[in-house]
Structure 1
Amino acid sequence: MKRLNKKIHVIIPNTLTHTTIMSMAGNMSLSLDLNATSFKQRKRLDSRIHEVNRVKNRFPYKIPVIVERSPREKRLPRLEKIKFLVPPEITMGQFVNTIRCKLPLPPSHSLCVVVGGRELASLAMTMCQVYSENRDQDGFLYLSYMSQDVFG
């Protein structure tokens, strides 16, 4: 008898935090695709606020940043790690370079980073300036990235 291993991707509300659920039959595992939705959609507001407060107490001089792939981006993969604690004195350009190093981006493509889903980030601003102007109500700074063809 051949045993089939099937993966079913489902989107589950914020109440579940485990990435894999074993079905009652035992022959099928349900893999939750937590990357299908944004961090804000997966976590409730009070949970995000609690997480920011915990991080700020432990690392008071760091900025909590969430970096996610833009929903319109199809070529670049999602980052393995989306939560960053960033020193306030580095520039947005330095942080974008850090993100670029974590992605398989060819030299002919540029990396665009959008702050809060609304505007392109000024690469000359410090992370402290970007955070003070654009932080979310939960205390995180949300950035999304996408690739852009530069040379044709």
Structure 2
Amino acid sequence: MSRSNSASSAGYMPSFKDRKSFPDRIRMVQEIQRQQPDKIPIIIERYNTERNLPILDHCKYLVPAHITVADVMQIIRRRLALHPDQAFYLLIDEKSMASITMTVGQVYEMEKDKDGFLYIVYASQPAFG
């Protein structure tokens, strides 16, 4: 994956929340929900202290509510071009790990942010902190 962004090649990328204002994020979600009401708006970013895994080429995803967290992990694994043996972990809203059998819709209803996005971070270590 080519990364032309100098911030990402340096290993640091400001978070989506840092790059977009709260009102802008709310407008984005409202537009997404108007155009694609059956999709869940997700922001997937690398954990802020993670250095072993690459940064995804983009962070905004729209996924069907019925897919599982395991399906999301497969999407991330494929986009990061990870070796099948390389482990990584997902943290929902920087506070909890969701069961891989839960649907994205279930996680969204429990953990969506005030702006309407579901925030997920990924890291190579299970201990976040």
Aligned with 2:114 (options 137, 140, 143): 137
Percent identity for Structure 1 against Structure 2: 39
Does 1:74 pair with 2:46? Answer: no
- 3-state SS in 1 of match to 2:89: strand
Does 1:109 pair with 2:83? Answer: no
Please give the alpha-carbon distance, in whole angstroms, between the structure 2 residues aligned to 1:52 and 1:115: 18
TM-score by length of 1: 0.73
Please give the alpha-carbon distance, in whole angstroms, between the structure 1 residues aligned to 2:74 and 2:110: 21
Higher strand share: 1
Whether the 8 Å CA contact 1:76–1:104 is kept in 2: the answer is: no
Q: Which letter maps to 2:101?
A: A
Does 1:33 pair with 2:7? Answer: yes
Q: Can you list the C-alpha shifts for 1:9-61, whole angstroms capped at 9, x where unaligned?
A: xxxxxxxxxxxxxxxxxxxxxx8738521000111100000000011100010
Please give the alpha-carbon distance, in whole angstroms, between the structure 2 residues aligned to 1:102 and 1:110: 14
- 3-state SS in 2 of match to 1:142: strand
Q: Which structure would you say has the larger RCO, counting Cα contacts within 8 Å and 6 or more residues apart?
A: 2
- Return the offset for 1:104: 2.8
Aligned residue number for residue 4 of structure 1: none
- Return the offset for 1:107: 3.0
- Return the offset for 1:75: 1.3
- Segments of 5+ residues of structure 1 without an aligned counterpart are 1-30
Aligned residues: 119
Does 1:48 pair with 2:25? Answer: yes
Aligned-residue CA RMSD (Å): 1.8
Higher helix share: 2
- 3-state SS in 2 of match to 1:66: strand
- Return the offset for 1:81: 1.5
